[in-house]
Structure 1
Amino acid sequence: MCGIVGIFDTRGAREIDPALLKRMNETQHHRGPDEGDIYTEPGVGFGHRRLSVIDLASGQQPMFNAAGDVGVVFNGEIYNYRELTAELQQLGYQFRTKSDTETIVHAWEAWGEDCVHRLRGMFAIAIWDRRKQVMFMARDRMGIKPFFYALLPSGMFIFGSELKSLRAHPGLPREIDVRAVEDYFAYGYVPEPKTIYAGSRKLAPGYSLLVRIGQPVPEPKQFWDVPFKLHEKMTEQDAAGELAVRVREAVQSHLKADVPLGAFLSGGVDSSAVVAMMAGLTDEPVNTCSIAFNDKAFDESEYAGQVARQYGTNHHVETVDTDDYALLDTLAGLYDEPYADSSAIPTYRVCQLARKRVTVALSGDGGDENLAGYRRYRFAMAEDAVRSKIPQALRRGVFGPLGKYYPKADWAPRVLRAKTTFEALARDLVEGYFHGVSIMSDAMRARLFSEQFKRRLQGYRALDVMREHAAAAPTGEPLSLIQYLDMKTYLPGDILTKVDRASMAHALEVRVPLLDHLLVEWISGLSPSIKLKGGEGKYIFKKSMEHYLPHDILYRKKQGFAVPLASWFRGPLRQRVREALLGPALAATGIFDQAFLAEMVEQHESGRRDYSAPIWTVLMFEAFLRKELEGAPA
């Protein structure tokens, strides 16, 4: 695991400033504290920070072939590098190291752009080929590893593992992208390929980009997508059996390391399954890490301990105060752009704990998206079942007005909180799902934003992000479609972003075997009816794990990481909220309707409404703005 940066002259061979390149590289020192180096030649500069995991003695980067005309910087792990090395040796390539990085160098020489199809793993890669005068870049299929880039007005192309490395370049335009702001207040993050800045981008998961000297920079090209191609009919028992075998193989492929390795163990289905598989694949006890909360309403450590005892792991637990809000400003610095998932706080703490014991940790991320584990999938399918029975014209004519005029009743029993349901039934599947996952609804964002800012949006809506992905989806089956939407938005934009930044802040490598692309491809071909069955999410996965895990681990109510935002904002963070939401920084942007911000604060403090999620979202935007102003050029 590492951090990479680069500068590439798209117009020729101008000199690269090594001091500037080094500054860009050092912004990511936390990603690779073991070693660091830069390389420059006319027109090209590479920087790398290394967290040594494989081939500790000779895996330094930037790495070149023997002739010195093909070089690479790379962040991630290639899990099939030994098999590829043997294949490339058969083709006549000589290896000087035992690292996966050198495998990439020779894979490019052998197969060119098609090399990405041979790589199994998580990666962000940049390859300079002096012979062909090209820079080739690629990001792994699921978006586990980040890749940011920008074409500057000067014609210099810059890239890095984090947005802060691009910000270190004085030529980067820092104009805020108004569409990214609209996206953020709907999703709680800025979805790929946008960043908060209009002048920079994220390379989307499963995409590559080839830049040639003297030619315009093209649009990135997709090299992989989740297929969702149904398998031939198989019995439920056969599907469960094969799923367990494939999960075990994916976990085994992720165990290669020359440093201490362990796992996160939350007590949920996914992390428990990963630990169960690891225990059967290693001779030594698995190192597992959990955090407990002093408030039992948020604490799952009892279940984690149950799995740890069953498999005899070396289990480490630390208790975190649920009033752990001191990280707010730290998070703004970690994520570089507005990011509003409050579970980033406990994620940061569990990574901090794990790094005391191991350098590599396996996690259970991806199970919910792969196997329909989120409760919202159940709700979306229930709504879609009703929609399918009512003509669209009638739905919009009846449920649209009901949703508009029915009062929002957060205080009422769930059965009476029908406003969101009415609104969802008036929409199609994609729009209904978008509104189900939005932190702030269309109506709330319309009140949040000033009239001036709404004019700047020129009719753009955050829904357009999902509409574009739905139009390109390889499936129209309702459950598979919303899983696909999550894999393109929530998974890379929120979940994987959260884990990458939180882990790399502590120089911890996190691997996600449930997102191994071979496993993802196979799972996508399972019938939706055995992913979500009888209201049970991850049904077939739970069946496949019944031989490995206790019933109360598999079938208890899903909990997840949570923090008590509502009480924070009425208690210890009350003044911070007032200063941020009603202070001069947000007012100066011209983005917000100040009267609505004041209304949110007053109604939340009084207990009349629970505005905790919207307030946190605005609070993190304000924290980003302060960080931005601190680091902005004069």
Structure 2
Amino acid sequence: MCGIAGIFNPNKELPKNSREILRRMGEVLRHRGPDDYGEYISEHCGFSFCRLSIIDLEHGHQPMFSPSSNSVIVFNGEIYNYKELRKELEELGAVFKTNSDTEVILVGYEVWGVDIVSRLRGMFAFVIYDIGKNELFIARDHTGIKPFYFTNNSSNFVFASEAKSILKFPGITASVKTSVLPKYMSFLWVPAPDTLFENIYVLEPGHVMQVGENGIKNQRYWNPDLVTKDSSKTEKTWIELIDYELTRAVKEQMISDVPLGAFLSGGVDSSTIISFMNQVSNYPVTTYTTGFAKEDLSQDVILSDVEYARIASKNLKVDYNELILSPDVVSLLPRLIWHMDEPVADPAAITTYLICKAAKEKCTVMLSGVGGDEIFGGYPRYLGNIIAHKYQRVPGFIRKELIESWVKRIPTHSSSFVRNFKKFLKSSDLPFQERYFGYLTYYSQSELKQLLKMEFKWDDIFEKHRKVFKEYNGDDNIQSMMNLDLKTFLPNLNLMYTDKMSSAVSVEVRVPFLDHLLIEKAAKIPGPFKIKNGKRKYILKKTVEKRLPHEIIWRKKAGFGAPIGAWLKGQAKDMMLDLLSEENIKKRGYFNYPYVSNIIENHLNGKEYNANQLWQLITLELWHREFIDR
């Protein structure tokens, strides 16, 4: 994990103070790479690089020149098959000066050109300056594990691992892209390539860019078949295949020259990763688990993982580290928003930051179970779609007059099941795509119109989602939903906060489930093997039946979050009332205060569980103060 930043102008000389600019851009990225710093400046191109040393600790300095000196690279990430590629390149006559994966990318580019990216297995965002062509070649990994931000400013192409670094370039000022605000309020995040910053974009996962004298060329390099199913294989065959692919992926991702561990939630995903790590490791895997104070959990709808993590730790015989968290949210949240760059409002960001901070005491690299839900069918909304199809067959008067009228009277804060069931009922009558969109949003159309002052078109909010659905929508509705989440929800939310929060404390997080070969194989598993008899992630759970205890494999999914509902009634209540006061809401001009006041009141009196909506409003206000008001 590293921080990269740079400036490129193919037609003009760079500003005379480019070195100073690059250092300012690099300074705000030092948390991503505290071990080393480097720069490169030429007539048209300048790079800044902050390194967290993971592989070839002594010789991985960047920016790095190719042996021919025809190109130079800055690279953030890890290439897990770099030794295989190095051997292949050496057989073609290539000579290497280091043992780093960075040099393999660079030499590979000079031998294979832009096709190098299709040969890589790993997580990466890199920029190669081809000196002879006066052109940048940029690539981001298949699923968006590593971030890449960019903008064009007066013919200067400016890029960085984090948006705040781009804001250090003269003439670039932070402003809100209000046209995407309805999308942000609906999802808690903004669909790529947009961000909430005006004129700052992200390179989408699985894409490359070429920037030169003739402009910018952006194209997708990874376009797997995520629709066609392989119905010829038996359940036993699929189990053997998934076992093989997970063994390979986990083994590859355990390559490191620094201490390595794993997160353990007590769920099937993290426990699965650790069980495969045990096959490779010669010593007990170091694991970290977090929980929250009983008082906070008693006033919220989230479940505790600690009990299950303890069971899993005994079964897996790990070096178990457990933390019960009681964070000072009021002082912590502004700092995390600075690290997050974008106002991603998932409370799991706090938990991720705190567990990474604790893990840093022993480990620089951590393996995570992120991605298991998207590729094996783990989210409750996947099962919800199957139930909704059957629910539509229930006579209308029974649904409306009995079931739905009864559920509406139950306070939402009473349990996560009630909250999810109410959300399910809002969309249960809709066609498949519209119903799934309803599961993803935090506001209905009428609610969002009451909240926002600005005019918007409801259909425009789902523009990206419809595009992905059209491209990856087969006959299997389960796989269609998973494909959509893989392309939108996963990179824009889960991977976003995982990268930013781990980078804040100089920890690298790896995600074996998102090995792109594993994803391609898993996509061919028929839907009935992903959800079978109401059991989500069925084939994955069957794969690890001999590795993990029954109560871990078949437990109720707890999710990964924080007791924000309790915090907003306790330690963070005054902060919420101050940030979301009538004066502040009216000053911003985005929202109708009576509606904001209503969701605050309903949360505090226990009528509704509005914690996520309120957390988002708080996050947006703090982000505005940190980046826009300055």
* Interval containing the TM-score (normalised by the shorter chain): over 0.9
What is the SS of the residue equivalent to 1:317? strand
1:80-115, CA deviations, whole angstroms, 9 ceiling, x for partnerless residues? 000000111111111000000000101111111111
1:292 alignment partner, SS class: strand
SS in 2 for 1:218: strand
Classify the secondary structure of the residue corresponding to 1:470.
helix
Which of 302, 310, 319 matches 1:305?
310
Kindly tell me: are residues 64 and 323 of structure 1, through their superposed partners in 2, closer, same or farther at Cα, counting changes over 3 Å?
A: closer
Q: Please state how far the C-alpha of 1:140 moved relative to its aligned partner.
A: 0.2
- Give the deviation of 1:386 after TM superposition: 5.1
Q: Is the 8 A contact 2:231 2:525 kept in 1?
A: no
Amino acid across the alignment from 2:89: L
**Partner Cα separation in structure 1 for residue 216 and residue 442 of structure 2:** 35
Residue 378 and residue 326 in structure 1: after superposition, are their counterparts in 2 closer, same or farther (change >3 A)?
A: farther
Q: Does the 8 Å contact 1:293/1:320 carry over to 2?
A: yes
Asked whether the equivalents of residues 260 and 365 of structure 2 are also in contact (C-alpha less than 8 Å), the reply is yes
- Give the superposition deviation at 1:333: 0.9
User: What CA distance in whole angstroms lies between the structure 1 residues aligned with 2:338 and 2:469?
Assistant: 33
**Quick check: 1:443 aligned with 2:436?**
no
Instruction: Say if 2:465 is the partner of 1:466.
Output: yes
Deviates more, 1:354-363 or 1:171-180: 171-180
* CA distance 1:443–1:407, change in 2 (3 Å): farther
What does 1:278-427 align with in structure 2 at a 5 Å threshold? 278-295=277-294, 298-321=303-326, 324=329, 326-385=331-390, 408-409=408-409, 411=411, 420-427=423-430
Which residue of structure 1 aligns with residue 90 of structure 2? 89
| Residue 200 (structure 2) pairs with residue 197 (structure 1) | no
2:364–2:506 Cα contact (<8 Å) kept: yes
Rounded to whole Å, the distance in 2 between the matches of 1:401 and 1:447 is: 26
Counterparts of 1:284 and 1:277, CA distance in 2: 13
Q: 1:322 to 1:411 in 2, by over 3 A?
A: farther
Which residue number corresponds to residue 557 of structure 2?
558
Which string of whole-angstrom CA distances, capped at 9 and with x for unpartnered residues, describes residues 483-514 of structure 1? Answer: 01111111111111111111111100111011
Whether the 8 Å contact between 1:4 and 1:75 is mirrored in structure 2 is yes
The answer to whether 1:133 aligns with 2:138 is: no
Residue aligning to 2:43: 42
- The C-alpha deviation readout for 1:61-84, integer Å capped at 9, x for no partner, is 101112322111110000000000
Equivalent position of 1:151 in the other structure: 152
Tell me, yes or no, if structure 1 residue 170 matches structure 2 residue 170.
yes
Does the CA-based 8 Å contact 1:469-1:488 persist in structure 2?
Answer: yes
Hey, what's the Cα distance between the residues in 2 that align with 1:496 and 1:612?
Answer: 22
AA at the equivalent of 1:128: Y
2:227–2:472: 8 Å Cα contact kept in structure 1?
Answer: no
Structure-2 change in CA distance of 1:91 and 1:537 (3 Å)? same
Aligned to 1:257: 256
Distance 1:121 1:417 in 2: 35
Q: Is the 8 A contact 2:364 2:507 kept in 1?
A: yes
> 1:234: Cα distance to partner?
1.1
Whether the 8 Å contact between 1:29 and 1:49 is mirrored in structure 2 is yes
Paired residue secondary structure (1:52): coil
Task: Give the percent of matched residue pairs that are identical in Structure 1 and Structure 2.
Answer: 34
Contact preservation (8 Å) 1:406, 1:418: no
CA contact (8 A) 1:208 1:223 kept: no
Q: CA contact under 8 A between 1:409 and 1:417: conserved in structure 2? A: no
Asked if the contact 2:191–2:488 (Cα under 8 Å) also holds between the matched residues in 1, the reply is yes
Take 1:402 and 1:473, find their aligned partners in 2: how far apart are those partners?
38
**Which residue of 2 is the match for residue 527 of structure 1?**
526
Taking a change above 3 Å as real, the CA distance of residues 478 and 294 of structure 1, as seen in their structure-2 partners, is same
C-alpha contact 1:195 1:337 (8 A) present in aligned 2: yes
Question: Helix, strand or coil for the counterpart of 1:383?
Answer: helix
- Alpha carbons 1:409, 1:416 under 8 Å: kept: no
Shift of 1:560: 2.3
Contact 2:585–2:592 (Cα < 8 Å) also in 1? no
Residue identity matched to 1:586: I
Counterpart code for 1:65: S
Pairing 1:222-233 to 2, within 5 Å after superposition: 222-225=221-224, 227-233=226-232
Number of matched pairs: 620
Distance 1:581 1:359 in 2: 38
Whichever residue aligns with residue 485 of structure 2, its letter is D
User: CA, structure 1 residues 556+141, in 2 after alignment: closer, same or farther (shift >3 Å)?
Assistant: same
Q: Is the 8 A contact 2:149 2:161 kept in 1?
A: yes
The verdict on how the C-alpha distance between 1:138 and 1:415 changes in structure 2, with shifts beyond 3 A counting, is: closer
Residue number in structure 2 paired with 1:540 = 539
Structure 2 distance, partners of 1:477, 1:627, is: 44
The DSSP-based 3-state class of the residue aligned with 2:216 is coil
**How much has 1:232 moved relative to structure 2?**
4.8
Displacement of 1:184: 1.1
Distance in 2 (alpha carbons) for counterparts of 1:603 and 1:142: 38
In 2, are the aligned partners of 1:186 and 1:438 still within 8 Å (CA)? yes
Q: Distance in 2 between matches of 1:284 and 1:587?
A: 58
The aligned counterpart of 2:220 is 221
Distance 1:55 1:610, change over 3 A: same
Secondary structure of 2:609's counterpart equals: coil
SS at structure 2 position matched to 1:3 = strand
Q: Determine the C-alpha separation between the residues in 2 that align with 1:326 and 1:353.
A: 18
Counterpart CA distance in 2 for 1:511 and 1:85 is 22
Q: Is the 8 Å Cα contact of residues 250 and 516 (structure 1) preserved in structure 2?
A: yes
Tell me, in whole angstroms, the C-alpha distance in 2 between the residues paired with 1:262 and 1:588: 47
Secondary structure of the corresponding residue to residue 577 of structure 1: helix
Query: Are the counterparts in 1 of residues 176 and 628 from structure 2 also a CA contact under 8 Å?
Result: no
Asked if the contact 1:268/1:558 (under 8 Å) is kept, the reply is yes
Rounded to whole Å, the distance in 2 between the matches of 1:60 and 1:400 is: 65
**CA-to-aligned-CA distance 1:295-348 (integer Å, 9 cap, x gap):** 266432232222222232222222212775542212211111211101111111
Q: Partner letter of residue 371 of structure 2?
A: G
Structure 1, unmatched stretches of 5+, are none
**Is contact 1:190–1:338 with CA below 8 Å preserved after alignment?**
no
Please name the residue that 1:206 is paired with: 206
Answer with 617-626 or 591-600: which moved more. 591-600
